[in-house]
Chains A and B, each alone.
Chain A
Amino acid sequence: MNTKKFKLSNFFFTLTIIFYVANVMGILFTVILNSFGKNWFTGIIPQAYTVDWYKYAANEHDILHLLGVTFFVVIVLVVVSLLVAYPAAYVMARKEFKFKGPIMALFFLPMLIPPMTYGIPLATLLLRIRIPNLLAVILANLVPIIPFMILILTPFIEQVGEGLESAARMLGASRLTIFAKILIPLTKPGILTAGILSVVKAISAFDLTFLIAKGSSMTLVVALYSDAFAAGARPMQAIDALAVIYFGITMTCLLIALKFVNPTQMVFKIK
């Protein structure tokens, strides 16, 4: 029968996945162990352990400010995007109209074109006009996040039957009431999904923030990159300590997100 062939493809598949996962875990654990290691010159694990690197990293970066900025940017980003994206997703979900094609293209282009490609002119523009740097960072990141949210919210809104809305309107509800009392409660899972996935995406958003942020409006991931880039100036362990902090936060958000959404869906969404 086909048992022999089946075993071979089984083997190949499992091997590849294990190989890949092992490498990813290896990278992660190296970073984690290194951040706790006093010195690690040879051998599989560090010889001595310490938390000094974390204190070092915390001081070097005024970690509270860094985290504060990061969370502030992310939360404002997600809230504003939800406010802008939800009505747009509603229209895209419900109505057909003449310019739907081009508008859909307008919404999805920023997701297809990598941020580095449009980031430089965007950064140039935002830095020329005199607005607070933090505002510039938030504005820039709206570009990839709003289409992302529209993409996620649209199917959730489509699921809510139009009959409910028509019934409400016949009974005299204004559009605002319909939104507030019917649509939003019914699409709460969608809003949560969009919100959390966007938080994850925003925390790890590098390209645009890197091009724009100056000094105190850096987010965690940009600070991490700057540390790693100026490699000589800081000990590797301190960089890894900051990396672990970043990883901890991202991972927590990811785990929360996974409670709401299937991992396979996440890729289409994160892309």
Chain B
Amino acid sequence: MKIGKKIDRSLFIMLLPAIFVLLCLFIYPFIFGLYLSFTTKDGTYTLANYIRFFSDQWEYRTIWITLYISLPVTLICVGLSIPLAYYMRRGIKSERMITFFLIIPLTLGTVLVSQGMLTFLGPKGWVNQFLMFIGIVKDPIQFTHNMLGVILSVVIQNFPYSFLMLLGYISGISPDLEKASQMLGASKSQTFWKIMFPIMAPGVAITFCLNFVMAFSVYPSAVLLGQPSGPTRVIAYAAYQWAFEKYDQNMGSTISVIMGVIELIVIALVLSWRSHLQKGASIVGKG
């Protein structure tokens, strides 16, 4: 019994630094942020910050702007990833090379990609030159400093994540299920929709949630490629402005909290859709 206790204690000590760091630098600031959001500068409890956010159209429209960016982006990324990952599920010849090329934007980070897009998609950039060259358009298309540029940028950056995650999930589904289904006479489309997709659904849901959360907190793309002072003022930018430009950290924290809550709401919705889908799939199985 004594030995048991000794081992427990040294285990605890080994976990301690990690727990301590995360408690101090993650949990505590989180609570502190909540506290700040519910108080004014001198410390009195109030809902004024939240009221201010929701009664100022300039502020609360950031929610819609950010959703307008993040939802399509996530839908595109996940939507494109599913067929592509499904196609690659049994591995293809150039898999390593493809994943290498996909890793590049991931590693480069948002700043480089956004900033590069300013030139690449700019009025004199290669894309516009190409489009004008083949005659699709006469004048350069405005890809940058607007909503379109921001969406494109976030899609480019998030696509590798969603693709590689889904590839991992789908590769993990046993190929026997497919073979069995086809042996029993199901067409490829039936196999996909009635068997593979319900099995993939948890993976798809998780990928969607993680991608959405990433897209919703977009910052450098929206600022560099959009118009942060207007149409593409995203919620992260609003939080930043209040906390560090106007020095109102209470408002800044308030907006962060709202950001987190919205992310949680969307995640909850996606997960409940998924469990609804599972119930549906089992009923279909009976018929």
Contacts and interface: CB of A to CB of B under 8 A. Distances in A.
Interface in A112-139: 112-125, 139
Interface stretch (B42-50, B215-223, B269-277, B279-287): B215-223
Interface in B8-65: 8, 10-11, 13-15, 17-19, 21-23, 25-30, 32-33, 36
A47 interface: no
A68 interface: no
Interface stretch (A57-65, A187-195, A221-229): A221-229
B268 to A, nearest CB: 14
A182 interface: no
B15 A21 contact: no
B99 A263 contact: yes
A258 interface: yes
B103 A263 contact: yes
A103 B161 CA distance: 26
A85 interface: yes
A74 interface: no
B10 A175 contact: yes
Q: Quick one: which of A83, A97, A228 has the most chain B CB within 10 A?
A: A228
A160 interface: no
A270 B156 CA distance: 16
B158 to A, nearest CB: 11
A99 B142 CA distance: 54
Contact of B26 (A24, A143, A268): A143
Contacts of A262: 96, 99
A211 B240 contact: yes
Contacts of A271: 161, 165, 210
A247 interface: yes
Contacts of A88: 14-15, 17-19
A111 to B, nearest CB: 9
Contact of A118 (B23, B112, B256): B256
Nearest to A43: B129
Given A120-B252, A225-B220, A31 B18 contact: no
Contacts of A40: 124
Interface residues of A, number: 84
A250 B113 CA distance: 13
B127 interface: yes
Interface in B102-159: 102-120, 124-127, 129, 156, 159
Given A112-B213, A120-B252, A264-B168, A87 B17 contact: yes
A260 interface: no
A51 interface: no
Interface in B150-208: 156, 159-161, 164-165, 167-168, 188
A12 B282 CA distance: 32
B36 A228 contact: no
B31 to A, nearest CB: 9
A120 B243 CA distance: 7
B152 to A, nearest CB: 9
Contact of A225 (B30, B83, B111): B111
Q: How large is the interface on B (under 10, 10 to 19, 20 to 34, 35 or more residues)?
A: 35 or more
Given A30-B126, A246-B112, A125 B99 contact: no
B225 to A, nearest CB: 10
A176 B105 CA distance: 41
A21 B101 contact: yes
Given A26-B126, A110-B22, A31 B240 contact: no
B168 A125 contact: no
Contacts of B30: 118, 121
B236 interface: yes
Contact of A124 (B15, B99, B114, B253): B253
Interface of A: 5, 9, 12-13, 16-17, 20-21, 23-24, 26-28, 30-31, 34, 40-42, 44, 83-85, 87-88, 90-91, 95, 97, 103, 106-107, 109-110, 112-125, 139-140, 142-143, 146-147, 150, 175, 200, 204, 206-207, 211, 221, 224-225, 228-229, 236, 239-240, 243, 246-247, 250-251, 254, 258, 262-264, 266-268, 270-271
Given A114-B213, A240-B119, A258-B100, 7 more contacts: A13-B88, A30-B125, A42-B124, A117-B213, A143-B22, A263-B100, A271-B161
13 contacts: A13-B84, A30-B125, A31-B120, A83-B17, A120-B239, A120-B253, A143-B22, A143-B26, A147-B22, A206-B220, A251-B104, A263-B99, A264-B99
Interface of B: 8, 10-11, 13-15, 17-19, 21-23, 25-30, 32-33, 36, 80, 83-84, 87-88, 96, 98-120, 124-127, 129, 156, 159-161, 164-165, 167-168, 188, 210, 213-214, 216-217, 219-220, 223-224, 236, 239-240, 243-244, 249, 252-253, 255-256, 259-260, 263
